[in-house]
Amino acid sequence: MGVPEIERIGSLIIMIYFNDFGPHRLPHFHVDSPDGRAVYAITDLARLAGSLKGRDESVVQDWAVSNRKRLVDAWNRCNPDHPFEE
């Protein structure tokens, strides 16, 4: 299966991978940018891996706060064996 792209914000691409419950062990999303990559927890938006430039980091954080339901829904669609639970 491919990678579901959730959103593009300028040069930032926000994604959730299918069956991606391996190394991070909690619901999370990935962000790719020309300058870096990062992984964030959906629960508290903590950065789990990688890094982005300061401005990109704040754009992602703001977007994620406003779009949490989209992230949860996408996670549950892509990772049905490990659904998001609060």
**By residue range, what is the domain housing residue 41?**
5-78
- The reply to whether 83 falls in a domain is no
Whether 4 has a pLDDT exceeding 90, the answer reads no
- The reply to whether 85 falls in a domain is no
- Which residues make Cβ contacts (< 8 Å) with residue 22, sequence separation at least 6? none
- The reply to whether 73 falls in a domain is yes
- The reply to whether 31 falls in a domain is yes
pLDDT in tens, 7-53: 999 999 999 988 877 766 789 999 999 999 999 999 999 999 999 99
Query: What pLDDT is recorded for position 24?
Result: 64
- The reply to whether 19 falls in a domain is yes
The Cα–Cα gap between 8 and 11 comes to 7
* Tokens, residue 52: 């982005």
Q: How many domains, the chain?
A: 1
Whether 2 has a pLDDT exceeding 80, the answer reads no
Query: What pLDDT is recorded for position 51?
Result: 95
Q: Kindly indicate the confidence band of residue 69, based on its pLDDT and cuts at 50, 70 and 90.
A: very high
